[in-house]
Structure 1
Amino acid sequence: MIRRFGEPVRADQRYRLRPGAYAVLARGTDLLVTHQAEPVPEFQLPGGGIDPGESPLQALHREVYEETGWHIAAPRRLGAFRRFTYMPEYDLWAEKLCVIYLARPVRPYGPPLEPGHTALWMPGEEAAHRLGNSGDRHFVARWLGWG
């Protein structure tokens, strides 16, 4: 069974499955995170939706690059969680199936390609409290050895 985080499921909504791949990108005790300005400003683990015909690892590499400008190496699956949410940028009620990887940030190739995203380094302990969704916070806390 995959653990669920976030807001409760709304019985009056139909949700579309939206699988995605996200990364805990560690350098020492710091994490490379992204800040998304819209639709709601928040810190996030880099990653996003898996496009049709794309593998989770292909999506992970593409999304991390788009949101941070960094290339990554050695991704290793940590686990997965589900969250049910409204995605205003897509006008979509989604059941997000979030697969979380631990990966090594190799080097930056430039600024984030995705508009409204800023890449920054944040202490892991701070990220465990400041990331915008409870599933991301859970996996960072696990990486820190908190649970």
Structure 2
Amino acid sequence: MIRRFGEAPLRGKTYVLRPGAYGILARGNKLLVTLQSKPYVEFQLPGGGIDLGENGIAALHREVREETGWKISSPKFIGSFRRFVFMPEYEIWAEKLCHVFAAQPVYRLSAPTEPFHTAHWMTIREASSLLGNEGDRYFVSRLDH
């Protein structure tokens, strides 16, 4: 069974399954994260939806590049979780199936190309309390042991 974080699904709502790939990108005791400023301000693990016909690793590389401008290497799957949320940017209720990978940030290619995203470095301890969702915080906090 895949662990759920956050709110339980609401009765009467139809949820669209949205698989995604997210990266824990560590360099020493620092993590590369993204700050999304719209539709709400939130620190997040870089990542996002897996497009139709795309695998999780390819999606991770693409999403990290779009949201941080960084190239990554050596992604390794570490776990999954689910969240039931309203996604205002798509105007849908979604069951987000979040696949989390650990990967190495290699070098910065450019500024982020995803609108309303900026790249930031923070300590693992900071990230385990500042990331915007409980699932992200859970996986990062497991590094801090």
Q: 1:105, CA displacement in angstroms? A: 0.2
- Residue 103 of structure 1 aligns with which residue? 103
Question: 4+ runs of 1 displaced by more than 4 Å?
Answer: none
1:142 equivalent to 2:137? Answer no
Instruction: After TM superposition, list the pairs within 5 Å mapping 1:16-31 onto structure 2.
Output: 16-31=16-31
Q: 1:15, CA displacement in angstroms? A: 0.2
Residue identity opposite 2:96 in structure 1 = K
Alignment root-mean-square deviation, CA: 0.5
Q: 1:65, CA displacement in angstroms? A: 0.2
- When normalised by structure 1's length, the TM-score is 0.97
- Residue 128 of structure 1 aligns with which residue? 128
Q: 1:118, CA displacement in angstroms? A: 0.4
Q: 1:144, CA displacement in angstroms? A: 1.7
Question: CA–CA distance in 2 between the matches of 1:127 and 1:8?
Answer: 24
Q: Structure 2: where are the runs of 5+ without partners?
A: none
Q: 1:107, CA displacement in angstroms? A: 0.3
Residue identity opposite 2:98 in structure 1 = C
1:81 equivalent to 2:86? Answer no
- When normalised by structure 2's length, the TM-score is 0.99
Q: Structure 1: where are the runs of 5+ without partners?
A: none
Question: CA–CA distance in 2 between the matches of 1:6 and 1:54?
Answer: 27
Residue identity opposite 2:122 in structure 1 = M
- Residue 42 of structure 2 aligns with which residue? 42
Sequence identity of aligned pairs in percent?
A: 59
Q: 1:143, CA displacement in angstroms? A: 1.8
Q: 1:70, CA displacement in angstroms? A: 0.2
1:55 equivalent to 2:48? Answer no
Question: CA–CA distance in 2 between the matches of 1:110 and 1:65?
Answer: 8
What secondary structure is seen at the aligned counterpart in 2 of 1:51? Answer: coil
